[in-house]
Structure 1
């Protein structure tokens, strides 16, 4: 037997070496609580955002349409005054409407053909604004003033000559209808450096005069800004409440599911008497009814399993006693037998009886392990020392079989478990490796730590196990030798699988490079202080 001993063995608590495993990107969180909270946020937040956004845009459209409607009504009144009372009536009506609307809200200007102001609250025609059309300008670009008009007094001229017969006021002559205004430009928000925006409509009158009518959008935009802030705040509160509600409900559901999960873990560990918390049972909510149905199912399964186990244990116990008596009688007959032939026959019968006793003992041990009967005896186990004892036991056997047994057991590892069961499990594995290894074949037993997990690897150069049979070999009485001429009862690997599973580990069968079988056993490290 040869062994390799590195100078600095790795510790069970040391971080794993090698390239870090790649993590898959998850679009949704793994936990049910986080998913439910996110679902609530998406549903309520999305619905609230659609509702609030729709209300905002409809309100903004209605307010801006109202401004355009006010401009159209102003132009209609001015058109009526111009048609009835001419340019003087137009100017008087313009002043009256500007005063009624408020100088800070309405913009009016009536100029002559050369741009000289006649009436309004602007000192001059805005720069860049055409005489016919619609536009939007910044309020800072307008030169506002008090509402005034520069028309001469109404009536005939005074003087030595006076007015001749048939005199009429040229400013009061009726005017032809105004041309229709062009479509309004689309609404826009002013740039941040502008103090506000004013929507304007300009018309060139048939007399050559120019008319400008506009409305300030500052109040509307200010109202929309406050409305948008209130809606954003409401949306934030809605999202916060959605998250909180999702978290509360997910915590409640998670608490209910945790009871089911914990019970299922204990049942899978072998405690078939465990039940799911069911609250009010069939009279409760959906979770209580589900728990009650699960408990009824578990009770039925426990009853059936207990019946099967009772029958198996009874058969095993009842048959062990007569077999033991039969063995004692055969030994008595063997000692009293004078003929060599009879003695050989009795010896062969003793071997058959010993095989039956071994089979029944294995069945009882497997049943005890699977039901968790040995779990209370778990204690810290030095896995390195245990494997060394197994090797010492089979070193001579391997040497007699012509196999070379190599070990790498320098890593100090401690696990929680039953030392006797672990010893038997690894002894069964090593026994199979020695039994099926060819002459001069090599067997390697290695103990390592991978990703903070103890790993025992046993490799041989035997015939191996086909991939299609690797799961089946852990079932009771499974033997790859269909003729069943080789020694054994098909319970060795069943016992190994039950012991490893009882210790929270896994066992995997793979091919050895170059031919043979490799058994990989992963166990849980010891928890808590040594």
Structure 2
């Protein structure tokens, strides 16, 4: 049981939060000590210096009287000053240690340890012994005894007598002691609260970190659907752990999509490339078994090369799509997308007209975005190529315009077969093709590549209903590339 209780505490002791709390508590304790040192230096130290200066001055005056008027004159001077003084303290001690006169009971030091001068030596005030001490004296208003502190000097004379002169440090010392006591108590309380608060904060932070750790361990164990819990419902209103959790969940969502795509890529490639490779092998086998002329063999070889080029193009497209989904490739630079779309419109216009379709471009000038020119051109070309491929009659429209939310929209609408609403999430996946499109050439990655390119540019691809035509066989398709506009 004790081990179970100590284990979490040991884990908390290893957390950075608690260590920082302890470090700040230590800094505060050091600051409190420095503050106490400064307080004592500016109060007790200063009061002590003033008391020493005044007591030494008194001692010198009395030692002069001692030399000039002998011990009797000194005794009279001590009696007079002791009766008048309120902050000065005097004691005249006989050679046997008893008090002759003064206003305190005794000299506050061990007289046996004081070095006595020789009988013929002169009186030397500089040889006085300094000391600090506490004593009690009555309060005039109440008569209650209170403890006070003082500093003074003891001078031993060659005649065996001793003179002690001291100065009370005054009420300022009591104030300094009270302030120091408050600082000590407050510092101890703040230190305790800092440690307790650090422990509680560390426990909460450790709980959040534990949640993230358990999520990452579950993902490493193979549970790619596991997500970390977010404490706030509204995005952007949580703390840094909520931001980290949202980023982690977004990363796991992306990893899940990439892994799912990687798992199905092999099957999709095999499914979509099996037929052309089988046809190619059958054609080559048939050519090898039958006697053919040189022209016939050349035709077979050219057809095989064309089919192999389609296979290589498919693999290259898959490789590029994988790199884009992994966040690789693409160099974003300032691009006038109006110029790019205009050039693509001029490039596709003969192809569209040759297919018997009406082509209507409408491009606003001066649309600036941050983009990779070649990737964006490929995405638009894929959408235009799909529009030509799946539109039997009617028209194709190409638009580029500015949206109110500081965005640019590049849209391709056609009057072709269209894509049913329930299939639009499906067709943007790798190698996804509808049944009515498998008879047409293509690899099924054009839309998924356009989605990846849009996401690389911080945008999105939106599919909706397009144009209708009286002789058409569908409801058309509108493909909208929505990209953020470059701000000045």
Q: TM-score, normalised by structure 2?
A: 0.43
Q: TM-score, normalised by structure 1?
A: 0.39
Bigger relative CO (Cα 8 Å, ≥ 6 apart): 1
Whose helix fraction is larger, Structure 1's or Structure 2's? 2
